[in-house]
């Protein structure tokens, strides 16, 4: 199996670049509901809307079991098979295997010469193709999608190496994960560097802010929103807006383009009085902005609004971004966020607090005790909490600034940024929990989880544990 940690290179056109994605990339896109919520059309001309991706099947048989989608107006439950091309259905002999007779949808990259496919019972299997679903701008971002980062191994219970870790030298283990972390950060720098070459430093930081605020569930959807309603468009609109109305204008722009205004989303329910008034004001602004934004709108339901913690509410997250940008739209975002890193003098100083201060420069206002338009909560949340700010620093700012240091050949700045990555706190996630669960307490208790260590663990997990290739695991040389 090819490594799922590959960085997909841009080709001549976005559609050609997308064709470099492999089958695992496509499985991730399906599993994360990246195409969910939008109406697409099959090769037979029928409408398809994905409701649930189903259970990811790692064994023999179809890739996803019991997926749910609306096909031609009727809800269907069945299996889904995924390939790069329709021809692979026949190459893998699925048309002769009864195990694939419950496949109700076939998902593939593209079909240069579309070929209808049938199961062993002779029934036609509808197909959908990735390169017919998105604009060139969205395909360009999808082509740079790093597969595997949101997958979870079916072999999570125990690794074969778990019992060998008892005699491991903690320092050797830490050094290994640090080396993998540096390689992964370099990969992030390369990926963002390509985008910098296309859109510039400021737009990449702008997109990274959206991506970070989208959390795992909506980070790709928020990224597409930022590419559609870019920093240049926002700045041109806000510079001619009354200062007292800039926040409302920015919020209306983002929520309107994301289809998250109350009458555009079915997830809001009944609005309370305060929510109704705020929604009315947003709609009044959006009616004026809609002709300016043009076709830069996401599909209805593309942003997922359910199954999240209250603080991760997409409407609230976009409102927080709007508040920050309404104050700082006339400042260069690269310069604004770079200054705290320039001011670092102590090797053990972390720019989290200063970055938090920059991002939380605006009062939450209507959203101070809310996650939606329906009612107030007793608890208040900061617009950008420290954990989310640290993710923004690690995943976006550090790679962008490292790219800047590399282009300027500033080794001192590069070393300082890598030192920051080595001490930047990281919250435990499913990858680190998985690896730490394999370690005895005497080792895990001595490993302080920093961003660079976390990145090394994720890189190792994706390259090895995800595929359960324990016999070839490089860690065996460390234990």
**Cα(302)–Cα(48) distance, rounded to whole angstroms?**
14
Q: Does 113 map to a domain? A: yes
Q: Are residues 48 and 190 in the same domain?
A: no
Residue 231 lies in a domain: yes
Residue 130 tokens read as: 């990735």
pLDDT number for residue 48:
87
Q: Are 264 and 379 part of one and the same domain?
A: yes
Residue 2 covered by a domain: no
User: Is 341 in the same domain as 251?
Assistant: yes
Tell me the pairing of strands 103-108 and 127-129.
parallel
Is 35 within a domain? yes
Low-confidence ranges of the chain (pLDDT < 50): 1-12, 146-160, 266-267, 477-479
Same domain for 68 and 184? no
The torsion angles phi and psi of 79, rounded to 5 degrees, stand at -90, 160
Do the Cβ atoms of 27 and 56 come closer than 8 Å?
yes
Rounded Cα distance, 32 and 30, in Å: 6
Q: What is the pLDDT of residues 323-381, one digit of tens each?
A: 999 999 999 999 999 998 887 766 567 888 899 999 988 777 888 888 888 888 877 77
Sign of CA dihedral 257, 260, 266, 271: negative
Residue 96, pLDDT score: 86
The number of folded domains in the chain is 2
My answer on whether 179 and 133 are in the same domain is no
Q: Are residues 285 and 383 in the same domain?
A: yes
Q: What is the pLDDT of residue 266?
A: 45
Query: Are 420 and 398 spatial neighbours (Cβ–Cβ below 8 Å)?
Result: yes
Is 277 part of a structural domain of the chain? yes
| Residue pointed to by tokens 């509808």 | 126
Q: Are residues 283 and 219 in the same domain?
A: yes
Exposure string (b/e) for 359-374, b if CB count within 10 Å is 16 or more?
A: bbebebebbeebbbbe
Write down the pLDDT at residue 444: 58
Angle at 76 between CA 129 and CA 28, to 5 degrees: 45
pLDDT computed for residue 282 by the predictor: 94
Dihedral sign for Cα atoms in the order 56, 59, 63, 67: negative
Rounded to an integer, what distance in angstroms lies between the CA atom of residue 177 and that of residue 183? 10
Q: Are residues 128 and 214 in the same domain?
A: no
Domain stops at, among 122, 142, 162: 142
DSSP code per residue over 349-392: --THHHHHHHHT-S--GGGTT-SSSS---SS---SS-HHHHHHH
HEC-encoded secondary structure of 426-441: CCCCHHHHHHHHCCCH
Tell me the per-residue pLDDT of 108-122, one tens digit each, with 9 for 90 and over.
877 655 678 888 888
Q: Are residues 248 and 209 in the same domain?
A: yes
Q: Provide the token pair at 264.
A: 């555009």
438 within domain boundaries: no
145 CB-near residues (< 8 Å, 6+ apart): 8, 21, 25, 28, 29, 220
* DSSP string across 445-466: TT---BHHHHHHHHHHHHHTGG
DSSP H stretches of helix in 58-142: 87-91, 136-142
Residue 104 placed within a domain? yes
Distance of CA 36 to the CA centre of its chain: 14
- Cα 29 to chain centroid distance, Å, stands at 10
For the record, the structure tokens of 254 come out as 């983002």
Q: How far apart are CA 317 and CA 251, in angstroms?
A: 10
| 117/250 same-domain check | no
Residue 8, classed as helix, strand or coil, is: coil
Q: Please indicate, yes or no, if residue 152 is contained in any of the structural domains.
A: no
Co-location of 118 and 64 in the same domain: yes
C-alpha span between 216 and 198 (Å, rounded): 25
Pair 177, 102 in one domain: no
Sign of CA dihedral 179, 180, 181, 187: positive
Domain boundary at 378, 397, 423, which?
A: 423
- Which residue segment(s) compose the domain that 88 sits in? 14-142
């Amino acid at each position: 199996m090819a490594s799922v940690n590959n960085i997909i290179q841009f080709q001549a056109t976005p559609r050609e670049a997308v064709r470099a994605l492999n089958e695992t990339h496509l499985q991730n896109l399906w599993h994360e509901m990246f195409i969910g919520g939008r109406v697409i059309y099959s090769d037979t001309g029928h409408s398809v809307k994905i409701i649930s991706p189903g259970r990811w099947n790692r064994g023999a048989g179809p890739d996803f079991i019991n997926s749910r989608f609306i096909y031609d107006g009727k809800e269907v439950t069945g299996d889904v098979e995924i390939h790069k091309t329709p021809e692979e259905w026949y190459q893998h002999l699925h048309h002769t295997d009864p195990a694939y007779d419950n496949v109700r949808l076939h998902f593939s990259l593209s079909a240069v010469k579309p070929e209808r496919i049938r199961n062993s019972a002779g029934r036609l299997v509808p197909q959908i193709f990735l390169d017919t679903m998105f604009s060139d701008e969205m395909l360009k971002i999808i082509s740079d999608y790093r597969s595997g980062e949101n997958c979870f191994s079916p072999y999570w219970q125990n690794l074969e190496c778990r019992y060998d870790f008892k005699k491991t030298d903690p320092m050797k283990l830490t050094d290994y994960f640090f080396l993998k972390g540096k390689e992964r950060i370099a990969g992030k720098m390369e990926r963002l560097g390509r985008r910098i070459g296309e859109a510039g430093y400021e737009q990449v930081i702008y997109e990274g802010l959206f991506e970070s605020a989208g959390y795992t569930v909506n980070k790709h959807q928020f990224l597409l929103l930022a590419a559609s309603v870019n920093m240049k468009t926002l700045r041109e609109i806000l510079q001619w807006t009354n200062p007292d109305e800039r926040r409302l204008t920015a919020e209306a722009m983002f929520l309107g383009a994301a289809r998250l205004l109350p009458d555009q989303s079915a997830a809001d329910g009944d609005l309370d009085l305060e929510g109704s008034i705020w929604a009315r004001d947003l709609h009044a602004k959006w009616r004026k902005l809609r002709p300016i934004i043009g076709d830069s709108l996401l599909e209805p339901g593309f942003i997922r609004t359910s199954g999240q913690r209250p603080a991760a509410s997409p409407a609230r997250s976009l409102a927080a971004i709007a508040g920050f940008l309404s104050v700082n739209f006339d400042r260069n975002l690269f310069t604004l966020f770079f200054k705290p890193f320039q001011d670092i003098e102590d090797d053990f100083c972390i720019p989290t607090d200063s970055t938090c201060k920059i991002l939380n420069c605006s009062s939450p206002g209507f959203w101070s005790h809310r996650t939606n338009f329906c009612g107030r909560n007793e608890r208040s949340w900061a617009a950008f909490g420290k954990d989310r700010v640290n993710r923004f620093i690690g995943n976006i700012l550090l790679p962008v600034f490292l790219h800047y240091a590399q282009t300027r050949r500033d080794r001192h700045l590069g070393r300082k940024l890598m030192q920051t990555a080595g001490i930047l706190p990281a919250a435990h996630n499913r990858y680190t929990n998985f690896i730490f669960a394999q370690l005895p307490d005497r080792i895990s208790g001595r490993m302080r989880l920093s961003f660079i260590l976390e990145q090394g663990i994720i890189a190792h997990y994706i390259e090895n544990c995800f595929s359960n290739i324990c016999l070839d695991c490089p860690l065996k040389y460390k234990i």
